[in-house]
Structure 1
Amino acid sequence: MANSSRLRAVALTTTAVLLSAVLAGCGDGAKDEDLTAQKLDWKDCPAPSEAEGGGSAPSPLPNGTKWQCATMRAPLDWSRPKGDTIGIALIRAEASGPANKRIGSLVFNFGGPGGSGVTTLPAFGADYGALHTRYDLVSFDPRGVGRSAPVECESDAQLDEYFQQDATPEDGAERTQLLERTKRFNAACEKNSEKILPHVRTTDAARDMDLMRQVLGDRKLHYFGISYGTELGGVYAHLFPKNVGRAVFDAVVDPTQTPEQSALGQAKGFQLALDNFAKDCTSKTTDCPIGDTEQEVKDRIAKLLADLEKKPIPGIFPRELTQTAATSGIAQSLYSKDFWEYLTEGLEEAYDGDGKILMLLSDSMNGRNENGEYSNLTAANLAINCSDEKPRYTTDHVLQKLPEFRAASPLFGEYLAWGMVSCTDWAVPGAADHPDVSAPGAAPILVIGNTGDPATPYEGARKMVGALGKGVGIELTYKGQGHGAYDSKNKCVQGAVNGYLLDGKLPRGGTVCS
């Protein structure tokens, strides 16, 4: 869960697995070596660590290309580049086409913050087959994430309890309980991760990416950023405008917003996605099994959540499906239209007293696998957000803003509003109200907004274009549903992205794909 919003964008890689199933730390590096001259030791990839989500070693791509992994050394503290180092876990699939056609590396960040690129890239690698012909596909676990000096907070058992808590307190006693639970979680992060916590800001990760560019042997950074990855890309462009190569931002974070504005925007975005889900279900030729009209679908969901507030139902033994777990499960299913069918099925079963599917969706949101083990997604997400974002919101502030959040979304508003207190008593001060992504002199960046995106609302793409500066951001609109556009497989979107990344041909600014 994020500090300013509990529904920050995270990868969906574990959802399908869960439903179908109904290492490096801080250390003393070579302090005087030139880290830009280091040679990466690429080897077959191991199975993902628990912090990365567990599972099996990645399978080769459909064309037979094997994934390789390596660890890059980076300064723990970029203000002391000759001091202690940490390991940044990398993964790549070498370009499949002729060597004389190879452009270089294409570095991916899939968002979160807190998502493991080392596990996410192989899960979606086949979707980038066209790009793979001329690029090495590369991703990484950003610092604090997965195998890159992971932030550690609470145990699996404690996290089970954490995600069962009432996230929408209705009285003083419940508010006190929420704040005390938040403080305990944050104190555990400080106790278990004291050395890395001050060094996981997005600016630190951006500096890691420029070191990565040099170590990979690329003159420019060619980049594909998704969700929070667009914020990271924008910060990189601000710090290193002359090093930007061909770059694409998809599912764009609004860089001009405070955490409160971002949370309110997400409330509106998830409500829009829910409205679209209800409309889709009730407009089909077959009967919608969860309501006869759009309003009935939403009313029944609201009633389910109200009932769960009073009495949870069986979920995945021994856990019960609480109102909080159901809300996060519903939100997870709204990230992609491909998962609407799971939401329909999950609601049907929940109305009959079975909460398994909604709980599986909630587990995916929170980084919990079928073995009950959590990745460090939540810990890293909170650590990065709280380090980046300066505001520290109080209970009184949230109470004042609740009417506005409820108006934005009857279903998600309170949930997102109370998420704003997640950085209470965080050990590290936040850097700024919002990131600086101004990048005069940078190469053009293709910026794609999806009109139906719940997690990074469409308006953020235009705000990113404006913030990058004149002549840098080139806006493209996709009239679709779900979080992101390229993975929708829309031919217009993929043609525009591939045309730029492969051939340097930008679409005209303002192009619309539907």
Structure 2
Amino acid sequence: MRAFRRPVSVIAALGSVALLLTACGPATTADPTAGVQSPSVSATQSTAAPVADVVPAGLEKFYNQKLEWTNCGGVLECAKIKVPVDYANPQGETMTLALNKRAGKNAQGSLLVNPGGPGGSGLEIVRDSIPTLFGQDLQRSFDIIGFDPRGVGSSTPVKCETPAEQDASRQEQFDTSTDEGLALMRKSSAQYAALCAKRTGPSLGFVDTDSAARDMDVMRALLGDKQLNYLGYSYGTALGAHYAELFPQNVGRMVLDGALDPSLTNEEITMGQAIGFENEIRAYMQNCLESPDCPFTGDLESALTQLRELFAGVERTPMVATDGRTVPIIDFVNGFIVPLYSNSLWPALTEALRNVIAGNVDDIQFFADITAGREPDGNYSGNSSAAFTAINCLDYPMNSDIGVMRADEKALVAAAPTIGKYLAYGAVGCQDWKYPPKGEPGVINAAGAAPIVVIGTTGDPATPYEWAQALAEQLDSASLVTFNGHGHTAYGRSNECISNAVESYLIDGKVPADGLTC
């Protein structure tokens, strides 16, 4: 069992959860194809890419390749492009990146979308979630472009475990309180790292965020856009911020929702999330206690103690789901936190915990499967877990000294007594990674970029509000928009104030006032 994983592609994952939970509810009257132009009758469309105003030296063949769109189901069109594995050696090996498109009836250009992660599939969010996330005017006004970043999904993916192997590794459990248990955990992580290196090959060393941001500029040019219009959620804000730093002159209308602070170390990010989730657990539990079907009793502190005892029981004796799979504590926690990403799912979490107390862990396993991308047939859609590890190991230097990690665990438990211990020892996952980190934490200013809109949610557990404040402060041209509410990210799941601010900016270029609160 490797360390706690932050759920990947959370926007798409929550969309899947909501659809499944409401499958027996009233049908929507909305037309899912409204505002979307059907693709041409011709099977394939070829677009000769315009030469960008400034093509980075040595990259001409990539910026001038032809983009060919092919119908790939309903309103969707798909395409593939080539990019260099290593931008420092553009004459070397190449990667293939996958894109898809929902064409707008009155498109004024393209809008690239990333759902987060790292490891989230942009193809999936554009295929499955745009009609419910985006307003119809926005869908009409742009060709909505999804893409799988390098290493993710259909874009020269990181390859590690088979479905059976991933099932098996998710059922491992180690006692990290002992040196022996930590050594076993490191051995398992080292075996995993070796498997990823063997099955992926040299491209594993080039799935970093900086390279992925450079890919986005190739996409911009091939799509025929002089400037990049972009909406990034969660980790997608890191992609957008890095792009703005690398290509400030090419920034068009950019929205960064649920922001990461690029100046933070891996350890600082982990601490921020520990506190964020602890606060959201407290908010959830207070809400639970006010409902008639809450399985916890007493005041807030008593209920939290009961929850911690429940976690401790799963640690001692992992539960077994109806399908025979064991659900150890880390997979249990991964499932538990999914409904904390949207307060609309709090009732589902209450029901899941009530079932756990009664001896049935199937609902929690269902949520854990959502984060891992596991389908009911036992296969895994995409490679979100593998890509998450690979990208983070390249983006962040991590300190895997045992003494340092044990001190970090104590600090996490002190700051977040319910969830903190389960976020410790993440550095073990990168300790034996074949490729050293390329990234370093640092302030991003993006000097000279067009206005950038940063959105923060005050009760966001995964990307705490303070991170949005920090990113908006760093970016020279940022406007900060605040959503007062719970859950991760805001656009597409919050209120009309947020929707109006985002859509007026993206469609009409009307920059919301810095400090707008919704």
| TM-score w.r.t. length of structure 1 | 0.89
Q: Is residue 326 of structure 1 aligned with residue 326 of structure 2?
A: no
Q: 2:414 aligns with which of 407, 410, 418?
A: 407
Q: Give deviations 1:440-479, integer Å, cap 9, x for gaps.
A: 000010000101111101100111112223xx11111111
CA distance in 1, matches of 2:498, 2:322: 39
CA distance in 2, matches of 1:108, 1:207: 15
1:229 is aligned to: 236
Q: Which moved more, 1:392-401 or 1:102-111?
A: 392-401
Contact 1:265 1:457 in 2 (8 A): yes
Q: Is residue 376 of structure 1 aligned with residue 383 of structure 2?
A: yes
CA distance in 2, matches of 1:20, 1:491: 22
CA distance in 2, matches of 1:32, 1:207: 11
Contact 1:391 1:433 in 2 (8 A): no
Q: 1:120 aligns with which of 122, 125, 148?
A: 125
Instruction: Tell me the C-alpha RMSD between the 2 structures.
Output: 2.1
Q: Is residue 151 of structure 1 aligned with residue 151 of structure 2?
A: no
Distance of aligned partners of 1:386 and 1:256 in 2 relative to their CA distance in 1, 3 Å threshold: same
Q: Is residue 385 of structure 1 aligned with residue 392 of structure 2?
A: yes
1:251 is aligned to: 258
Contact 1:165 1:178 in 2 (8 A): no
1:185 is aligned to: 192
- Where does the alignment leave 5 or more consecutive residues of structure 2 unmatched? 25-57
Contact 2:59 2:90 in 1 (8 A): no
AA matched with 2:85: L
Equivalent positions of 1:237-316 (< 5 A) are 237-284=244-291, 286-316=292-322
AA matched with 2:6: L
Distance of aligned partners of 1:121 and 1:261 in 2 relative to their CA distance in 1, 3 Å threshold: same
Q: 2:69 aligns with which of 42, 49, 53?
A: 42
Once the two structures are TM-superposed, the CA of residue 166 in structure 1 deviates from its matched residue by 2.5
Distance of aligned partners of 1:436 and 1:207 in 2 relative to their CA distance in 1, 3 Å threshold: farther
2:46 is aligned to: none
Once the two structures are TM-superposed, the CA of residue 411 in structure 1 deviates from its matched residue by 2.1
- Where does the alignment leave 5 or more consecutive residues of structure 1 unmatched? 23-30, 46-56, 61-65
Distance of aligned partners of 1:256 and 1:150 in 2 relative to their CA distance in 1, 3 Å threshold: same
Once the two structures are TM-superposed, the CA of residue 138 in structure 1 deviates from its matched residue by 0.5
Distance of aligned partners of 1:391 and 1:43 in 2 relative to their CA distance in 1, 3 Å threshold: same
Equivalent positions of 1:81-230 (< 5 A) are 81-97=90-106, 102-126=107-131, 127-128=133-134, 129-166=136-173, 169-230=176-237
CA distance in 2, matches of 1:253, 1:315: 35
Q: Is residue 485 of structure 1 aligned with residue 494 of structure 2?
A: no
How many residue pairs get matched? 479
2:40 is aligned to: none
CA distance in 1, matches of 2:20, 2:319: 19
Once the two structures are TM-superposed, the CA of residue 305 in structure 1 deviates from its matched residue by 1.2
| TM-score w.r.t. length of structure 2 | 0.88
Equivalent positions of 1:349-364 (< 5 A) are 349-364=355-370
2:510 is aligned to: 505
Once the two structures are TM-superposed, the CA of residue 257 in structure 1 deviates from its matched residue by 0.5
Once the two structures are TM-superposed, the CA of residue 71 in structure 1 deviates from its matched residue by 0.6
Provide runs of 4+ in structure 1 moved above 3 Å: 13-22, 289-293
Q: Give deviations 1:4-58, integer Å, cap 9, x for gaps.
A: x622553224434666899xxxxxxxx997222222221122xxxxxxxxxxx6x
1:7 is aligned to: 6
Distance of aligned partners of 1:428 and 1:81 in 2 relative to their CA distance in 1, 3 Å threshold: same
Q: Give deviations 1:209-252, integer Å, cap 9, x for gaps.
A: 00000000000000001000000000000000000000000010
Once the two structures are TM-superposed, the CA of residue 421 in structure 1 deviates from its matched residue by 2.1
Contact 1:154 1:188 in 2 (8 A): yes
SS of 2:83's equivalent in the other structure is: strand
CA distance in 2, matches of 1:252, 1:466: 12
Q: Which moved more, 1:165-174 or 1:350-359?
A: 165-174
CA distance in 2, matches of 1:447, 1:118: 23
Percent identity between matched residues is 37
AA matched with 1:115: G
SS of 2:511's equivalent in the other structure is: coil
Once the two structures are TM-superposed, the CA of residue 168 in structure 1 deviates from its matched residue by 5.8
Q: 2:86 aligns with which of 67, 77, 86?
A: 77
Q: Give deviations 1:234-283, integer Å, cap 9, x for gaps.
A: 00000000000000000101111000000000000111111111122223
SS of 1:439's equivalent in the other structure is: coil
Distance of aligned partners of 1:78 and 1:2 in 2 relative to their CA distance in 1, 3 Å threshold: farther
Q: Give deviations 1:281-337, integer Å, cap 9, x for gaps.
A: 2234x4534435333432222111111112222214221222222111111121111
CA distance in 1, matches of 2:502, 2:435: 38
